[in-house]
Amino acid sequence: MIYSDIALNAVFVAVVLDLFLLKSRMMTRGIFWLTYFLILPFQLLTNWWLTSNAIVMYAVSDITGQRIAGAPIEDLLFGFSMILLTISAWEYFKIRLNEK
């Protein structure tokens, strides 16, 4: 499985978990999108640091080749999925732990 597939699967898994399994349905709420778009520029900043210094490198054969701020476009999908799943899981466990 190449990175493009992993990234698409990551988004798929996060969306399915959010909407149907954890049922936090963060995707339908403005606060999630506000959070995401605030984090996004910071992701681009760290991506730029990690790729422009060649700290992390990618197999050319495993990515589409489209890059944003030095990093493969797949990174944006991967990052989106992680942010969604984090907040979705947080809300899921919050209810189960009965926390405010």
Partner 1 sequence: MENLHYSYVLIFIAICAVGVNFGFRLQFSKKLKLFLLTDSLILVIYLIWDFWAVSKGSWFFDSNQILGIMLLGKLPIEEVLFFIIVPMMTVLTYLALTKLTGWGKAKEDSR
Query: For residues 43 and 49, what is the distance between their CA atoms, to the nearest angstrom?
Result: 10
Q: Tell me, by CB under 8 A, how many residues bind partner 1.
A: 38
**Taking the complex as a whole, how short is the minimal distance between the CB of residue 70 and partner 1, in angstroms?**
13
Residues 2-31 as x/- pattern, contact with partner 1 by CB under 8 A: xx--x---x--x---------------xxx
Residue recorded with tokens 């760290």: 46
Strands 67-68 and 71-72, bridge-based pairing: antiparallel
**CA dihedral of residues 69, 46, 2, 13 (deg, nearest 10):** -110
Query: For residues 61 and 1, what is the distance between their CA atoms, to the nearest angstrom?
Result: 11
Residue 41 found at the interface with partner 1 (CB under 8 A): no
Residues engaged in binding partner 1 (CB under 8 A): 1-3, 6, 10, 13, 29-32, 34-35, 38-39, 42, 46, 49-50, 53-59, 62-63, 82-83, 85-87, 89-90, 93-94, 97, 99
